[in-house]
């Protein structure tokens, strides 16, 4: 049995005076994919944002290898790859530029080979030099997923990654996920549709 | 290259892809300035006396006009999350974005203003001082406006609210910017004004990135 | 599910304010009545300004209290941002309109005083201009705190604005003073000033105290309202 890298214990979040979730505890080990399920408004997005420290938790802790992630926010940010509801892509930049800029913002020098591989994984090589504003919703989603793959971060936080994806893109995502997990990575995905190989955590 | 530099260059590149946005702001500056002689009358002495105030006010409005997109675009397309999750201080991101805003508005305004000053009958020395004060003062305007833009992210009536928040805070910069030109025109030294203007810009530089970062963090919550 | 943590502090505040408010209101009413009688009837008219000087008994205290109110806003903002004190946000919401009203009273009395003294309702006098800007700062705070669907976001945004604004108040004051001396000869008679007669000074102090009590009463009362309002909002969000 692998030991858990990510430990969430007693996490509670409140928004607008309303409890979103209360004393939530779970852990995720290397090579594991956790699927957050639950009805709309059950707090899946808030939980992802709380893990990323984008939303403050009223109580509880998020630990990585036993250490509270709030102790070193920057080190924690380096371990994260984020895919939100909005893709975080600039419409006036091309797909390749978007991914390269995101890498630079993370403090990495983009490696052409790695970017190329990420684009190929989502069948984006022909779209690489198209401005993002000309892409369809599904193509944008793929571009954002390619950005996640290119980051090589150990923990992926994905909010509704399957949104707008067709069957081929979905297969590409599952392939990318299984490569990531096989290399010892972790992923947490908020999702409505079932994801292959995922352990589900239902939020009430 | 660091993340800060990458963000600065990204914003410049985005402006470069849509040069129309900057052109509109500069056109607004020119048109707004030209309206004053039409409203007041073409008397050269009067125009020369009020030129400093008019040009500074118009520069202030033009600078604010372009600010509502500064963080709103990132907020709407999700890029703000990437900045919040960047492994370096958000204060630097705030600074980089304001610097990019200044480079595409404050800087061109400072270059453009003396040309308009000629039409107002300002003498050569005053034209130089006008450009200098705008060069030194507009960074403060970009930072103050940046704070207002960050505070109004996702708010109702964002644009008008932004102006209401930013304008009172811009008053010191406006006063010293305009009075420097007047002091130079009347033959007094303008260095004191310019020094105070510089001090105001430095105070903004030293304090506002923190406030902007705090505003952005709470917008991300 | 009721949010007990949020209600803990405000509930304690409610118990405190229920006990204090009635007494405070009575003391305030008496103090104001005595102060107004003293200022408007008992105090002698000024040998230069005549009865116009009585405006000062409202003008000077509201000026100081409007200024102090903004500092209070900044302190409440800091306490919200640093300690996430839920009561601070509600108190700030309660304080801003009261402070804005005081600033407005200061402006109106200033211009009423200006009519007989300067012959016009408005002069770009350093003090009046500074208070006009302070009034705008208040307006910005009020507008910002109420501009969000999520009131907690409005609270935090307004808190940041209040802190930045408070740092800027002395800078604005300094620049307006500078601007004023630059553009106007110092021939305008200043209000108040150090050479004020004791027979006018004591009622002035008294009015300052009475208006401060009024400020506190209004803020406490409005804070109670804000607590109720927030409770309703939470109740609406429950289901």
Give how many domains chain A has, as a whole number: 1
**Which pair of structure tokens corresponds to residue C78?**
């800091």
Q: What is the mean pLDDT of residues C217-225?
A: 93
Contact check, Cβ <8 Å, B219/C153: yes
Q: In terms of Cα–Cα distance, which of B155, A41, A178 is closest to C237?
A: A41
pLDDT (tens digit per residue) in A30-44: 999 999 988 888 889
Q: What is the C-alpha separation between C83 and B164, in angstroms, rounded? A: 28
| List of chain B residues whose C-beta atoms are within 8 Å of the C-beta of residue A93 | 10, 13-14, 17
Q: What is the pLDDT of residue C183?
A: 62
Q: How confident is the model at residue C187, as a pLDDT?
A: 40
Q: Is the pLDDT of residue C41 over 80?
A: yes
Reading the block at residue C170, the tokens are: 């002395």
Of the given ranges (B115-124, C32-41, C195-204), which has the lowest mean pLDDT?
C195-204
Q: How far is CA C195 from the centre of its chain?
A: 26
State the pLDDT at residue C184: 52
- Spell out, as residue ranges, where chain A has pLDDT lower than 70: 1-2, 16-17
Return the partners of chain A (3 or more C-beta pairs < 8 Å).
B, C
The pLDDT tens digits of the residues spanning B137-161 come to 999 999 999 999 999 998 887 788 9
Q: Supply C114's token pair.
A: 């200006």
Distance CA B87, CA A56 (A): 18
pLDDT band at C96 (very low <50, low <70, confident <90, very high): very high
Q: What's the pLDDT at C223?
A: 92
pLDDT at A43: 87
Task: Tell me the per-residue pLDDT of B66-117, one tens digit each, with 9 for 90 and over.
Answer: 888 899 999 999 999 999 999 999 999 999 999 999 999 999 999 999 999 9
Q: Express as a percent the part of chain C with pLDDT over 90.
A: 47
Q: Are B221 and A101 an interchain contact pair (Cβ–Cβ within 8 Å)?
A: no
Q: Domain holding A113: CATH number? A: 3.40.50.300
Mean pLDDT value across chain B: 92
Asked if residue A186 lies in contact with residue A5, where contact means CB atoms within 8 angstroms, the answer is yes
Domain extent at residue B168: 3-220
**pLDDT value at residue C6:** 52
- Best residue of B15, B71, B78 to probe chain A, by most A CBs closer than 10 Å: B78
Which pLDDT belongs to residue A42? 84
User: H or E segment at A1?
Assistant: none
Query: Which chain B residue has the Cα nearest residue C81?
Result: B214
For residue C239, what pLDDT band results from cuts at 50, 70 and 90?
low
- Judged against a pLDDT cut of 90, whether residue C134 lies above it is answered with yes
**Residue pair B90/B84 in contact by the 8 Å Cβ criterion:** yes
What integer pLDDT is reported at residue B135 of this predicted model?
Answer: 95
Subunits next to C (3 or more Cβ pairs <8 Å) are: A, B
Q: Give B 176-215 residues with CB within 8 A of chain C.
A: 176, 179, 182, 200, 203, 207-208, 211, 214-215
Can you give the pTM of this predicted structure?
0.91
Measured CA to CA, the distance from residue B147 to residue B142 in angstroms comes to 9
Residues of C in contact with B172 (CB under 8 A): 168, 171-172, 174-175
**What are the residues whose beta carbons fall under 8 Å from the beta carbon of C221, sequence distance 6 or more?**
C21, C94
Which tokens hold the place of A39?
């009805």
Q: How far is CA A47 from its chain centroid?
A: 12
Residue A41 CA: distances (Å) to CA of A85, A188, C134: 14, 17, 42
CA distance C120 to chain A (A): 50
- Interchain pair C233, A19: CB under 8 A: no
Over range C15-31, report the average pLDDT. Answer: 90
| The pLDDT of residue C64 | 92
Q: What band does B211 get if pLDDT is binned at 50, 70 and 90? A: very high
Q: Take residue A115 and report the two structure tokens written for it.
A: 């970017």
Backbone angles phi, psi at A90, to 5 degrees: -90, 120
CB contact under 8 A, B215 and C157: yes
Q: Is B219 or C158 the better-scoring residue by pLDDT?
A: C158
What is the number of domains present in chain B? 1
By residue count, chain B amounts to 221
What pLDDT shows up at residue C44?
A: 79
Contact A16 C237 (CB under 8 A): yes
**Average pLDDT score over residue span B19-35:** 93
d(CA A20, CA A59): 12
Q: How far apart are CA B109 and CA B99, in angstroms?
A: 14
Mean pLDDT of C182-207: 64
pLDDT at position B1, please?
54
State whether residue A66 sits within 8 Å of chain C by CB: no
Q: pLDDT tens, A123-154? A: 998 999 999 999 999 999 999 999 999 998 99
Burial A125-137 (b: 16+ CB within 10 A, else e): eebbeebbeebee
Label residue B14 left, alpha or beta by phi (over 0 means left) and psi (-120 to 50 means alpha): alpha
């Amino acid at each position: 049995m692998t030991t858990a890298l990510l430990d969430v214990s007693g996490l509670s979040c409140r928004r607008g005076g309303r409890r979103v979730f209360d004393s939530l505890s779970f852990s995720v080990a290397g090579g594991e994919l956790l699927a957050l399920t639950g009805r709309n408004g059950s707090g899946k997005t808030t939980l992802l944002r709380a893990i990323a420290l984008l939303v403050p938790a009223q109580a509880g802790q998020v630990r990585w290898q036993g250490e509270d992630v709030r102790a070193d926010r920057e080190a924690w940010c380096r371990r994260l790859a984020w895919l939100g509801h909005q893709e975080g892509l600039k419409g006036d930049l091309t797909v390749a530029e978007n991914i390269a800029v995101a890498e630079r913002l993370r403090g990495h020098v983009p490696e052409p080979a790695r970017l190329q591989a990420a684009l190929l994984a989502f069948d984006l090589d022909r779209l690489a030099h198209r401005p993002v504003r000309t892409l369809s919703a599904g193509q944008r989603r793929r571009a954002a997923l390619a950005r996640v793959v290119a980051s090589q971060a150990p923990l992926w936080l994905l909010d509704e990654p399957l949104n707008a994806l067709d069957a081929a893109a979905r297969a590409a995502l599952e392939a990318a996920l299984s490569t990531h997990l096989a290399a010892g990575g972790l992923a947490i995905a908020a999702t409505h549709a079932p994801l292959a190989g995922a352990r589900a955590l239902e939020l009430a | 290259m660091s993340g800060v530099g990458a963000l600065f260059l990204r914003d410049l590149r985005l402006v470069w892809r849509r040069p129309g946005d900057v052109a509109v702001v500069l056109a607004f500056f020119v048109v707004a300035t030209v309206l004053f002689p039409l409203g007041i009358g073409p008397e050269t002495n009067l125009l020369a006396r009020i030129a400093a105030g008019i040009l500074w006010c118009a520069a202030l409005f033009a600078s604010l006009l372009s600010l509502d997109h500064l963080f709103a675009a990132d907020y709407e397309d999700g890029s703000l999350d990437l900045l919040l999750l960047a492994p370096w201080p958000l204060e630097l991101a705030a600074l980089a974005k304001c610097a990019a805003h200044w480079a595409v508005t404050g800087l061109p305004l400072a270059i453009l203003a003396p040309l308009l000053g000629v039409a107002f009958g300002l003498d050569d020395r005053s034209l130089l001082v006008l450009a200098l004060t705008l060069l030194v003062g507009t960074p403060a305007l970009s930072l103050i406006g940046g704070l207002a833009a960050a505070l109004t992210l996702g708010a109702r009536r964002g644009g008008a609210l932004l102006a209401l928040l930013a304008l009172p805070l811009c008053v010191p910069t406006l006063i010293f910017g305009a009075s420097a030109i007047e002091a130079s025109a009347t033959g007094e030294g303008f260095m004191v004004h310019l020094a105070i203007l510089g001090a105001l810009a430095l105070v903004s530089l030293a304090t506002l990135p923190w406030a902007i970062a705090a505003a952005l963090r709470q917008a991300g919550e | 599910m009721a949010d007990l943590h949020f209600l803990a502090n405000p509930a304690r505040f409610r118990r405190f304010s229920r006990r204090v408010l009635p007494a405070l209101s009575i003391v305030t009413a008496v103090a104001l009545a005595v102060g107004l009688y003293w200022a408007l009837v008992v105090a002698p008219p000024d040998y230069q300004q005549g009865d116009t000087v009585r405006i000062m008994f409202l003008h000077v205290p509201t000026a100081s209290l409007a200024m102090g109110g903004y500092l209070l806003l900044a302190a409440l903002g800091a306490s919200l941002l640093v300690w996430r004190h839920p009561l601070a946000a509600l108190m700030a919401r309660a304080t801003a309109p009261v402070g804005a009203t005081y600033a407005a009273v200061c402006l109106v009395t200033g211009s009423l005083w200006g009519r007989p003294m300067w012959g016009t309702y408005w002069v770009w006098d350093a003090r009046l201009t500074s208070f006009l800007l302070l009034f705008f700062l208040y307006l910005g705070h009020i507008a910002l705190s109420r501009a969000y669907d999520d009131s907690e976001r409005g609270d935090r945004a307004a808190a940041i604005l209040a802190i930045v604004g408070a740092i800027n108040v002395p800078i604005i004051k300094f620049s307006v003073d500078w601007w004023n001396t630059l553009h106007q000869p110092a021939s305008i008679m200043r209000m108040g000033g150090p050479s004020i007669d004791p027979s006018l000074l004591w009622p002035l102090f008294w009015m300052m105290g009475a208006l401060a009590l009024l400020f506190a009463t209004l803020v406490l009362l409005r804070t109670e309202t804000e607590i109720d309002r927030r409770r309703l909002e939470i109740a609406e969000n429950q289901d």
